[in-house]
Amino acid sequence: MIRKKELTDLVVERSGMNKKDVKPIVEVTLAILGKALAEARELNLQPIGKFKVRCEKLMPNGRVLVTKIHQFNAAEGVDNDADDASDMPDAAE
Protein backbone atom coordinates (compact mmCIF):
# COMPACT_ATOMS: atom_id res chain seq x y z
CA MET A 1 0.00 0.00 0.00
CA ILE A 2 1.32 3.42 -0.88
CA ARG A 3 0.27 6.26 1.39
CA LYS A 4 0.31 10.02 0.80
CA LYS A 5 3.61 10.51 2.67
CA GLU A 6 5.37 7.86 0.59
CA LEU A 7 3.89 9.29 -2.62
CA THR A 8 5.12 12.75 -1.63
CA ASP A 9 8.59 11.39 -0.85
CA LEU A 10 8.74 9.59 -4.22
CA VAL A 11 7.75 12.74 -6.09
CA VAL A 12 10.42 14.70 -4.20
CA GLU A 13 13.03 12.04 -4.98
CA ARG A 14 12.20 11.73 -8.68
CA SER A 15 11.58 15.40 -9.41
CA GLY A 16 14.38 16.92 -7.35
CA MET A 17 11.94 19.51 -6.00
CA ASN A 18 11.67 20.56 -2.35
CA LYS A 19 9.22 18.70 -0.14
CA LYS A 20 7.58 21.99 0.92
CA ASP A 21 6.77 22.65 -2.76
CA VAL A 22 5.68 19.11 -3.60
CA LYS A 23 3.43 18.39 -0.61
CA PRO A 24 0.66 20.91 -1.45
CA ILE A 25 0.67 19.80 -5.10
CA VAL A 26 0.23 16.15 -4.10
CA GLU A 27 -2.53 17.07 -1.63
CA VAL A 28 -4.45 19.14 -4.20
CA THR A 29 -4.04 16.47 -6.87
CA LEU A 30 -5.40 13.78 -4.54
CA ALA A 31 -8.31 16.03 -3.54
CA ILE A 32 -9.21 16.61 -7.20
CA LEU A 33 -9.01 12.88 -7.98
CA GLY A 34 -11.07 12.03 -4.88
CA LYS A 35 -13.77 14.51 -5.85
CA ALA A 36 -13.87 13.19 -9.42
CA LEU A 37 -14.31 9.61 -8.16
CA ALA A 38 -16.98 10.75 -5.67
CA GLU A 39 -18.86 12.26 -8.62
CA ALA A 40 -18.43 8.94 -10.50
CA ARG A 41 -16.50 10.73 -13.24
CA GLU A 42 -14.42 8.62 -15.59
CA LEU A 43 -10.68 9.30 -15.31
CA ASN A 44 -8.15 8.74 -18.08
CA LEU A 45 -4.75 9.17 -16.44
CA GLN A 46 -2.04 7.40 -18.39
CA PRO A 47 0.13 5.54 -17.54
CA ILE A 48 -1.96 4.70 -14.45
CA GLY A 49 -4.92 3.83 -16.61
CA LYS A 50 -8.54 4.57 -17.34
CA PHE A 51 -10.80 4.48 -14.26
CA LYS A 52 -14.54 3.98 -14.34
CA VAL A 53 -16.80 3.72 -11.27
CA ARG A 54 -18.91 0.60 -11.78
CA CYS A 55 -21.07 0.76 -8.64
CA GLU A 56 -21.31 2.50 -5.30
CA LYS A 57 -22.50 1.26 -1.92
CA LEU A 58 -23.29 3.63 0.93
CA MET A 59 -21.96 2.48 4.29
CA PRO A 60 -22.44 3.98 7.78
CA ASN A 61 -18.84 5.28 7.78
CA GLY A 62 -18.52 6.25 4.11
CA ARG A 63 -18.92 4.76 0.65
CA VAL A 64 -17.46 1.82 -1.20
CA LEU A 65 -16.71 2.44 -4.85
CA VAL A 66 -16.14 -0.50 -7.14
CA THR A 67 -14.00 0.65 -10.04
CA LYS A 68 -12.75 -0.78 -13.28
CA ILE A 69 -9.18 0.18 -14.18
CA HIS A 70 -7.93 -0.46 -17.69
CA GLN A 71 -4.17 -0.20 -18.16
CA PHE A 72 -2.86 -0.11 -21.69
CA ASN A 73 0.21 -2.19 -22.39
CA ALA A 74 3.46 -0.89 -23.85
CA ALA A 75 2.53 -2.21 -27.30
CA GLU A 76 -0.29 0.35 -27.36
CA GLY A 77 2.12 3.23 -26.83
CA VAL A 78 2.20 3.49 -23.05
CA ASP A 79 5.22 2.40 -21.01
CA ASN A 80 3.98 0.80 -17.77
CA ASP A 81 7.45 0.70 -16.14
CA ALA A 82 6.75 2.85 -13.06
CA ASP A 83 10.40 2.66 -11.92
CA ASP A 84 11.74 4.38 -15.04
CA ALA A 85 12.18 8.04 -14.18
CA SER A 86 13.88 8.87 -17.50
CA ASP A 87 10.71 10.51 -18.82
CA MET A 88 10.38 12.72 -15.73
CA PRO A 89 10.99 16.41 -16.45
CA ASP A 90 13.86 18.07 -14.68
CA ALA A 91 12.95 20.25 -11.69
CA ALA A 92 13.99 23.31 -13.71
CA GLU A 93 11.44 22.60 -16.47
Same domain, 45 and 35: no
Q: Is 54 within the bounds of a domain?
A: yes
What is the mean pLDDT, run by run of 10 residues, along the chain of 93 residues?
97 98 98 95 95 95 94 64 48 45
Burial of 22 (0-12, 13-18, 19+ CB in 10 A): buried
0.85 exceeded by pTM = no
Query: What is the count of structural domains for the chain?
Result: 2
Q: Which residues pair with 52 in a beta bridge?
A: 68
Query: What residues make up the domain containing 12?
Result: 1-39
| Same domain? 2 vs 31 | yes
Phi-psi region of 86 (alpha: psi -120 to 50; beta: other; left: phi over 0): alpha
